[in-house]
Structure 1
Amino acid sequence: MAGRATPDDEQGTDVTLEDLLERSGNQDTAAFATMYDRLAPRVYGLVTCLVRDPDAAEQVCCEAFLEVWRRAATYDPASPGAAAWVLGIAHRVALRAAGLTRLQADALHLARFDGLDHRSIDAHLGAEDPATTLLTSGLRRLAAAGGR
């Protein structure tokens, strides 16, 4: 885009997604825009697998990136990576679009993508409801919403 500052360093080398996400956490809109441009196709691809309606998938993508913007300051550079972090947020937003509570979506995400068992999920979430209840009710709600 003409006239817009790019978040590349002075030597012209590309900045990593991790750097862009950290800078986004400091309210750097140019860094966030670059990160969005790099990750939007992957996020949309993931979301369309979970949300079958194209209009709803676009809305979920927007909500996911808004959540990324809001939570960017909490990104831990020691985590698996910026792309995984953003895709994890998009996945949870897509599950919530199916009518899941945040706890149900988080429990399903921890079980499916992090491979945690119900005891580990209980310890991680610290929720009043046990993980087995969250997982069962979440899977039932997903099945009722069309098997996403």
Structure 2
Amino acid sequence: MEMGKLFTGDTTKVVPQIALTDKEGSPKRVVLVIEGEIVGDNKGDEISKEHGKDLMLHSLKSLKTAKTVPDEIILIHDGVKLILPESECFQCWKDILDREIVVKACNETLFYLGKIPEDPRIICEDMADLLQSMLTADRVIRL
């Protein structure tokens, strides 16, 4: 079967309104969602947990010099703990925010923890508003 004629006998037309990239091949609006303090699923052992923490730290540090970065980072549930001073990742946020990446933290989780972000550039939003940000993004990546 010939490319571009997969389902019909006619040539398939690309609809630019739904394309995820612009003319230069860059994504439109990308949102990174972080739900936990570690990357991956903790298998219940300490080695897996430490490895997941290292991966999260490395991922956030890489955003300091990365060529492509998300437009927005949303922190929900245990991911909110990453912006607290006691987190190993705490120092990464200054570099991320300096790159003008929008960082949003879940208000309900902050209230539950009894914490507020130290950096005023971190936006605190209700979960309903965070969900709207995810739903209106062109691409959502879960870390």
Band of TM-score, shorter chain: under 0.3
| Bigger CA radius of gyration | 2
TM-score, structure 1 normalization: 0.24
TM-score, structure 2 normalization: 0.25
Decide which structure has greater helix share. 1
Structure number with greater CO (CA < 8 Å, separation at least 6) is: 2
